[in-house]
């Protein structure tokens, strides 16, 4: 089945729905339950921050949306997960197309051991684009979107490892953008960066949210408050399963949380 066409045709009919939706989702790694009964709706073209103490399943939750947990032996998902109203764990879903639509930026910059140009061109090449002029246009456009073009336009043939840490992370964002995703997952994208590079990534996220749906995992409460529109607070129950404690507009979560556990976490009383 042509998943890409299925997503695009459904999208027009469901423009008013949440971009991402989970309903009573349970995630298991073998006998261990990592997430329990997670239900929420994530709006499109906005930034949603997932916060909570270490080990509560934030990254596992993030990986549900591009099925990266599928790669972990013994991983099992129960419940319902949709993008644009389409159940992404349905047997008809092409996971390669799904991961093209749902890109991911990891905690530490992970450029490939190749040139700046080839890093960004890697995805389009894998999806069948061979024409050099077309690739050059895609690379330049993606680097502009990642606010990196002016810094690297004369270094396209140099190794990506020659860039600074902050530049490498923006290069990884450009690599995601090059395949025209609709959702960008970011797993603590600034944790390995200095404050100046962090602010550049945050500014970039706010700019990208005009056209993309962004879900970010962060331990940095100030960052979550600064950049996100919505916030989801997860924590562990006694059996170490992650549960959703509270979800809502970021300003409300940070100033008038409805659950005492949310307030305690945000004010640093635990976690």
Residue 7 has pLDDT above 80, yes or no: no
pLDDT in tens, 190-235: 998 999 999 999 999 999 999 999 999 999 999 999 999 999 999 9
What percentage of the chain carries pLDDT values higher than 90? 92
Report the pLDDT value the prediction gives residue 9, as an integer from 0 to 100. 40
Instruction: Assign domain 3-266 to its CATH architecture.
Output: 3-Layer(aba) Sandwich (3.40)
206: Cα separation from own chain's centroid: 14
Residue 11 has pLDDT above 50, yes or no: no
Going by pLDDT thresholds of 50, 70 and 90, the confidence category of residue 269 is confident
What percentage of the chain carries pLDDT values higher than 70? 93
Q: What is the largest CA-CA distance in the chain?
A: 57
Residue 16 has pLDDT above 60, yes or no: no
Report the pLDDT value the prediction gives residue 5, as an integer from 0 to 100. 46
pLDDT in tens, 71-85: 999 999 999 999 999
The structural domains of the chain, with segments of one domain joined by +, span 3-266
pLDDT in tens, 99-114: 999 999 999 999 999 9
Report the pLDDT value the prediction gives residue 271, as an integer from 0 to 100. 57
For the chain, strand residue ranges (E) read 20-29, 32-42, 47-51, 75-83, 86-87, 102-105, 183-187, 213-217, 230-236, 242-249
CB 58 within 8 A of CB 50: yes
Cα–Cα distance list, 34 to 87, 192, 247 (Å): 21, 25, 19
CA distance 143 to 155: 12
């Amino acid at each position: 089945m042509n998943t890409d066409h299925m997503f695009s045709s459904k999208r027009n009919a469901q423009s008013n729905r949440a971009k991402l939706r989970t309903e009573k989702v349970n995630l298991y790694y073998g006998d261990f339950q990592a997430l329990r009964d997670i239900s929420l709706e994530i709006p499109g073209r906005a930034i949603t921050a997932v916060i909570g103490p270490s080990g509560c399943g934030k990254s596992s939750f993030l990986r549900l949306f591009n099925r990266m947990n599928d790669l972990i032996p013994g991983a099992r998902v129960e419940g319902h997960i949709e993008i644009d109203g389409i159940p992404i764990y349905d047997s008809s879903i092409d996971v390669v197309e799904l991961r093209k639509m749902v890109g991911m930026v990891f905690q530490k910059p992970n450029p490939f051991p190749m040139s700046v140009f080839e890093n960004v061109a890697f995805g389009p090449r894998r999806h069948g684009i061979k024409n050099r002029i077309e690739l050059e246009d895609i690379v330049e456009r993606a680097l502009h979107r990642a606010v990196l073009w002016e810094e690297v336009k004369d270094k396209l043939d140099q190794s990506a490892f020659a860039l600074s840490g902050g530049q490498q992370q923006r290069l990884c964002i450009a690599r995601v953008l090059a395949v025209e995703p609709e959702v960008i997952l970011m797993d603590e994208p600034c944790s390995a960066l200095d404050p100046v590079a962090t602010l550049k990534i945050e500014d970039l996220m706010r700019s990208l949210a005009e056209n993309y749906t962004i879900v970010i995992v962060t331990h940095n409460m100030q960052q979550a408050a600064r950049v996100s529109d919505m916030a989801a607070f997860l924590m562990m129950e006694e059996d170490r399963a992650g549960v959703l404690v509270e979800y809502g507009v970021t300003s409300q979560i940070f100033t008038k949380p409805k659950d005492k556990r949310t307030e305690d976490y945000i004010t640093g009383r635990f976690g």
